[in-house]
């Protein structure tokens, strides 16, 4: 499967052992579509060479002098986003792998890598990188007036999902929307729990229009139209209510919903999407356009069993797991399953915790006033504020430093799919 002439896959090898570097180079030299463009002896040298040669694929060792492969991966992933990094290491400890994946690595091969596996991995990731390269070459520079995908604010889509109903998605989504809202950040919450959504109930809002109105005109969504359709919460957060009746859910197709969300991200800094506890085309499409999927678990065995199934599924679908943030809701300070237990069982980092507090949460739902507006001393408030802060930090510096980064400003319609559907 050779690529076009002049478009060979450029590979950088980073390993402190000369023999390993040479062996890999020899193994690749007979592949007509692969060029080894550089070999580095350390993480630091690897970063420099990655900047100089802009490889499609980087083969990265972990244990090296001066800077290890995980740190180098993190820097290369940020500075040369086109480069797809494969960890090639004797370290197969899951903790190392998880850290490498969080740092931005795409794949892992054990050392010495079997020839077939190495070449297939390079080709697969190389093709992905080449496609992004071509896409970038056809785009006007970010920020150019009228550049596709940059006509608006290029906001972040944050969806909230749980494979098990009642985990607290709507509670979290409504409170998070308020916590993210500020003078600088315009926020909209979208009720994409199409049949039994209750964002309107949680925020004590009703309206004549809903998601159905935007979905019906998904190809011609202008700002005026959005403003005339959304409801306004007293906090300033805008609300796109769900379909008025369960039967109306079928009026919103996955493709239309995708267009609606992409239109909204051009007018709002954060688009928070509440979802139903099912996995159909609609939910997969929402994940596909999401910058982060907040996966809500509760600290009990049935919830964790379902979360495990979800992680297994996204692995099969090749959804980058770093976009999924695992959260724990209803955390009981008095004991029970802890975040550490959950991390140990699921092998995923818990990115946020919201404390159990029936009284506060129920009172807030019944009054239609999210608890995050209440005293900071209320048990569940801090967890939501911390999460909002982490999300802001996650996005703000990267946007400024690497505007063309695939996770940032690329036009959503052409952004790499979160799922490689098979």
Question: Of Mg ion, ligand ATP, none, which one does residue 165 interact with (CB within 5 to 8 Å by kind)?
Answer: ligand ATP
Question: Of ligand ATP, Mg ion, none, which one does residue 361 interact with (CB within 5 to 8 Å by kind)?
Answer: ligand ATP
Closest approach, Cβ 358 to ligand ATP, in A, equals 5
Closest CA to 168 of 347, 383, 395, 346: 383
Q: 121 or 170: whose CB is closer to Mg ion?
A: 170
CA distances (Å), origin 137, targets 82, 127, 142, 181: 12, 15, 12, 35
Q: Which residues contact 281 (CB under 8 A, 6 or more apart)?
A: 254
Residue 271 near residue 190 (C-beta atoms within 8 A): yes
Question: Of Mg ion, ligand ATP, none, which one does residue 129 interact with (CB within 5 to 8 Å by kind)?
Answer: none
Chain residues that interact with ligand ATP, rule: CB under 6 A: 162, 165-171, 193, 277, 329-330, 354, 356-358, 361-362, 365, 380
CA distances (Å), origin 106, targets 124, 180, 417: 11, 30, 14
Q: 161 or 270: whose CB is closer to Mg ion?
A: 161
What would the x/- binding string for Mg ion be over residues 119 to 158, using CB under 5 A?
----------------------------------------
Question: Of ligand ATP, Mg ion, none, which one does residue 84 interact with (CB within 5 to 8 Å by kind)?
Answer: none
Closest approach, Cβ 329 to Mg ion, in A, equals 12
Site for Mg ion, residues 169 to 188, rule: CB under 5 A:
169-170
Q: 58 or 365: whose CB is closer to Mg ion?
A: 365
Q: 228 or 245: whose CB is closer to ligand ATP?
A: 245
CA distances (Å), origin 25, targets 10, 298, 315, 375, 422: 12, 48, 30, 61, 32
Q: 154 or 242: whose CB is closer to Mg ion?
A: 242
153 is written with which tokens? 């604010």
Q: 366 or 389: whose CB is closer to ligand ATP?
A: 366
Collapsing DSSP to helix, strand or coil, 102 comes out as: helix
d(C-alpha 203, C-alpha 235), whole Å:
10
Regarding 402 and contact with Mg ion (CB under 5 A), the answer is no
Closest approach, Cβ 137 to ligand ATP, in A, equals 43
d(C-alpha 89, C-alpha 386), whole Å:
35
Q: Report the length, in residues, of the chain.
A: 422
Backbone angles phi, psi at 402, to 5 degrees: -130, 75
Closest approach, Cβ 411 to Mg ion, in A, equals 30
Listed ranges 142-150, 164-172, 322-330, 367-375: which one lies at the site for Mg ion (CB under 5 A): 164-172
Closest approach, Cβ 357 to ligand ATP, in A, equals 5
Closest approach, Cβ 162 to ligand ATP, in A, equals 5
Closest CA to 77 of 129, 121, 124: 129
Residue 229 near residue 213 (C-beta atoms within 8 A): yes
Angle between helix axes 254-264 and 281-289 (nearest 10 degrees) is 20
Q: 214 or 354: whose CB is closer to ligand ATP?
A: 354
33 is written with which tokens? 């579509």
Question: Of Mg ion, ligand ATP, none, which one does residue 277 interact with (CB within 5 to 8 Å by kind)?
Answer: ligand ATP
Q: 39 or 276: whose CB is closer to ligand ATP?
A: 276
Residue 191 near residue 261 (C-beta atoms within 8 A): no
Closest approach, Cβ 42 to ligand ATP, in A, equals 47
- 231-232/238-240 β-pairing: antiparallel
Closest approach, Cβ 183 to Mg ion, in A, equals 29
d(C-alpha 376, C-alpha 371), whole Å:
9
Query: Which positions lie near Mg ion, rule CB under 5 A?
Result: 169-170
């Amino acid at each position: 499967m050779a690529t076009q002439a002049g478009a060979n896959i450029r590979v950088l090898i980073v390993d402190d052992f000369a023999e390993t570097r040479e062996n890999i180079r020899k193994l690749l030299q007979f592949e007509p579509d692969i060029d080894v463009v550089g070999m580095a002896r350390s993480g630091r040298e690897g970063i420099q060479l990655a900047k100089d040669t802009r490889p499609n694929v980087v083969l990265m060792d972990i244990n090296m002098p001066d800077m290890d492969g995980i740190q180098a991966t993190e820097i290369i992933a940020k500075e040369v986003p086109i480069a797809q990094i494969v960890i090639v290491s004797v370290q197969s400890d899951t903790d190392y792998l998880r850290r490498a994946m969080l740092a931005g690595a795409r794949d892992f091969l054990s050392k010495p890598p079997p020839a077939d596996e190495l070449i297939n991995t390079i080709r697969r990731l190389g093709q992905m990188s080449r496609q992004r390269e071509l896409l970038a070459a056809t785009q006007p520079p970010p920020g150019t007036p009228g550049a596709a995908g940059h006509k608006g604010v290029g906001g972040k889509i944050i969806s909230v999902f749980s494979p098990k109903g009642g985990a607290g998605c709507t509670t979290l989504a409504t409170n998070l929307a308020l916590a993210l809202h500020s003078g600088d950040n315009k926020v909209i919450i979208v009720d994409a729990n199409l049949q039994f959504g209750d964002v309107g109930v949680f925020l004590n809002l009703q309206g004549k229009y809903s998601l159905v109105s935007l979905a019906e005109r998904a190809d011609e969504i202008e700002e005026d139209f959005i403003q005339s359709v959304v409801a306004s919460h007293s906090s300033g957060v805008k609300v796109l209510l769900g379909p008025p009746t369960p039967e109306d859910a079928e009026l919103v197709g996955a493709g239309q919903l995708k267009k609606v969300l992409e239109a909204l991200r051009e007018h709002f800094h954060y688009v928070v999407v509440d979802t139903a506890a099912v996995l159909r085309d609609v939910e997969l499409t929402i994940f596909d356009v999401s910058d982060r999927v907040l996966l809500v678990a509760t600290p009990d065995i049935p919830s964790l069993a379902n979360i495990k199934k979800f992680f297994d599924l996204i692995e099969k679908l090749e959804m980058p797991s770093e976009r999924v943030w695992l959260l724990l809701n209803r955390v009981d300070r008095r004991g029970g399953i802890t975040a550490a237990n959950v991390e140990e069982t699921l092998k995923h980092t818990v990115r946020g915790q919201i404390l159990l507090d029936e009284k506060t949460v129920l009172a807030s739902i019944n009054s239609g006033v999210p608890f995050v507006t209440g005293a900071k001393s209320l048990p569940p408030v801090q967890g939501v504020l911390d999460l909002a802060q982490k999300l802001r930090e996650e996005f703000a510096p990267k946007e400024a430093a690497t505007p063309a980064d695939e996770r940032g400003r690329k036009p959503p319609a052409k952004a790499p799919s979160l799922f490689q559907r098979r």
